Amino acid sequence: MNGRSPETDYESLKKFCLETLKVDLFGVADIRQARKDFSLSAEVAARYDFAISLGKEVLLSVLDEIKDAPTLLYFHHYRQLNAYLDRAALELASFISRQGYLALPVAASQITDWKNQKAHLSHKKIGQLAGLGWIGRNNLLVNPVLGARFRLVTVLTSWPLRTDSPLPFSCDQCRRCLAVCPAGAIKEKPEEFDHLACFAKLKEFRDRGLVGQYICGICVKACYGQRKIENHLKKTEEI
């Protein structure tokens, strides 16, 4: 693949990720303006001009049991998806390295500051730049097909690839996440999201012994997922 055009290399990598690694979402972002916000040393971050964003679907069936709190089933699924994506990112980084370029896989869920919900970098910001979706009212990346129902991982690379373009905010009149948020953290505008209220509720869920990590899933289910569950049930009843 070395020596081909950024466009053909992009298409080949996309095919590799979707068909061989079997991820559900793929996009490439130009990160030269965004890398200043990474929790990596400036020297290391400067080696990478591009980032590949990969996504894996959260199953509707796992979200179905969530009502007003996260479940152990969701917690296990969440961890399994992160492990799957970490493995995919490692495979992709190794593949890129064999082509003669640098590639750094960044863990799907390795938080460095839980209170402010920060990691080595923002996977959802990279995903947004890579055209996988927009930042919704729920402060999550929202995809046109999956809603917020997916997990993300990032691979930084020096490989000059064709990049994707960000999508405009498209939540429109939908406010399902705002209506169900148990912390009242979701507001009318994405930039008004109350991170501290969200974290307090996540801490409460963990301290109650419901799950072993700061996760929720309620707004994930509400974002397209609830409607799709209802549609599936309706179709089943019609059969």
Taking the C-alpha atoms of residue 50 and residue 161, their distance in angstroms, rounded to an integer, is 8
Number of structural domains the chain divides into: 2
Are 101 and 182 in the same domain? Answer: no
CB 171 within 8 A of CB 178: no
Residue 12: inside a domain, yes or no?
yes
Are 138 and 180 in the same domain? Answer: no
Residue 50: inside a domain, yes or no?
yes
Token digits for 110?
A: 């390795």
Give the residue numbers spanning the domain of 147: 6-59+80-157
Are 96 and 41 in the same domain? Answer: yes
Residue 95: inside a domain, yes or no?
yes
**Domain final residue, candidates 157, 189, 206:** 157
CB 90 within 8 A of CB 105: yes
Q: For residue 194, how many other CB atoms are within 10 A of its CB? A: 16
Are 137 and 182 in the same domain? Answer: no
Are 184 and 215 in the same domain? Answer: yes
Are 223 and 131 in the same domain? Answer: no
Residue 33: inside a domain, yes or no?
yes
Are 137 and 85 in the same domain? Answer: yes
Q: Per this entry, what is the length of the chain?
A: 239
Residue 72: inside a domain, yes or no?
no
Long-range contacts of 59-67 (CB under 8 A, 24+ apart): 60/149, 60/225, 60/228, 60/229, 60/232, 63/149, 63/217, 63/220, 63/221, 63/225, 63/226, 63/229, 64/221, 64/229, 66/217, 66/218, 66/221
64: Cα separation from own chain's centroid: 20
Secondary structure class of 222 (helix, strand, coil): helix
pTM reported for the whole predicted model:
0.92
Are 198 and 153 in the same domain? Answer: no
Residue 134: inside a domain, yes or no?
yes
Are 111 and 45 in the same domain? Answer: yes
**Domain final residue, candidates 128, 157, 186:** 157
Are 98 and 212 in the same domain? Answer: no
Angle at 116 between CA 170 and CA 133, to 5 degrees: 20
CB 110 within 8 A of CB 119: yes
Are 181 and 151 in the same domain? Answer: no
Are 143 and 181 in the same domain? Answer: no
Taking the C-alpha atoms of residue 120 and residue 80, their distance in angstroms, rounded to an integer, is 20
CB 10 within 8 A of CB 162: yes
Residue 171: inside a domain, yes or no?
no
Residue by residue, pLDDT tens for the chain (239 residues) are 555 899 999 999 999 999 999 999 999 999 999 999 998 999 999 999 999 999 999 999 999 999 999 999 999 999 999 999 999 999 999 999 999 999 999 999 887 776 666 778 999 999 999 999 999 999 999 999 999 999 999 999 999 999 999 999 999 999 999 999 999 999 999 999 999 999 999 999 999 999 998 999 999 999 987 877 777 677 766 65
Residue 152: inside a domain, yes or no?
yes
**Domain final residue, candidates 157, 184, 199:** 157
Token digits for 185?
A: 């953290």
